[in-house]
A and B are shown apart, each in its own frame.
Chain A
Amino acid sequence: GEDVEQSLFLSVREGDSSVINCTYTDSSSTYLYWYKQEPGAGLQLLTYIFSNMDMKQDQRLTVLLNKKDKHLSLRIADTQTGDSAIYFCAPRSGGYQKVTFGTGTKLQVIP
């Protein structure tokens, strides 16, 4: 099956940019999602990119996809304390049952 790897922790200062990285193994991944999990809550879709795109920008969020290296990144500009959460990379290959979640990166924002 697909393997999805992320670093476990990231700490940034408020106002700086955060970059969360993800590597995956299945080159047939079609959609690549980023989900956010706030403390004590379920996951919510943050953004996604389709596999034929290199970049997607959505307000403070920028997603970069390098298909050749199977590398996905999420950049959060002007990081705020409300961005403190766990971020999951989740490539999808095929049907709905084929969404594989990474280990999650816990983002800590220091005021």
Chain B
Amino acid sequence: EAQVTQNPRYLITVTGKKLTVTCSQNMNHEYMSWYRQDPGLGLRQIYYSMNVEVTDKGDVPEGYKVSRKEKRNFPLILESPSPNQTSLYFCASSPIDRVTNEKLFFGSGTQLSVL
């Protein structure tokens, strides 16, 4: 089944304790992206990747890191989490085709609480 898999689904941590949220897709998509969803603010893009070893900042990259060593995986790293990073996080992927309209495929989300 074609899917984007995020882990964990829920995570509670404390300020300053490094954590990684994993994202994996099995559709051989070039494009992957991380978003955070906050009430009243919608989805805001954190980082995106157009292909292996190619990453770039989105609208709210501060406090986050990403890597794209393999095409299928795009982990989100919080080196020193802070309470303002408490949020619902989504990973998404898509093929890149500049001619046709390609939709984003989303994971089920990771609810992160930083105490």
A residues with a Cβ closer than 8 A to B are 1, 4, 6, 8, 31, 33, 35, 40-45, 48, 50, 88, 96-97, 99, 101-104
10 of the cross-chain contacts (CB-CB < 8 Å) are A31-B101, A40-B109, A42-B108, A43-B43, A44-B106, A45-B104, A96-B31, A96-B96, A97-B45, A97-B56
Interface residues in chain B, defined as those with a beta carbon under 8 Å from any beta carbon in chain A: 4, 31, 33, 35, 40-45, 48, 50, 56, 58-59, 90, 92, 94, 96, 101-104, 106-109
CB-CB nearest in chain A for B91: A42
Chain A contacts of B58 at CB under 8 A? Answer: 97
Task: Find the A residue at minimum CB distance from B38.
Answer: A103
CA–CA, A101 to B92, complex, Å?
A: 13
Complex interface: chain A residues within 8 A of B59 (CB): 1
**Closest B-chain residue to A99, C-beta based?**
B104
Q: Which residue of B lies closest to A42 (CB)?
A: B106
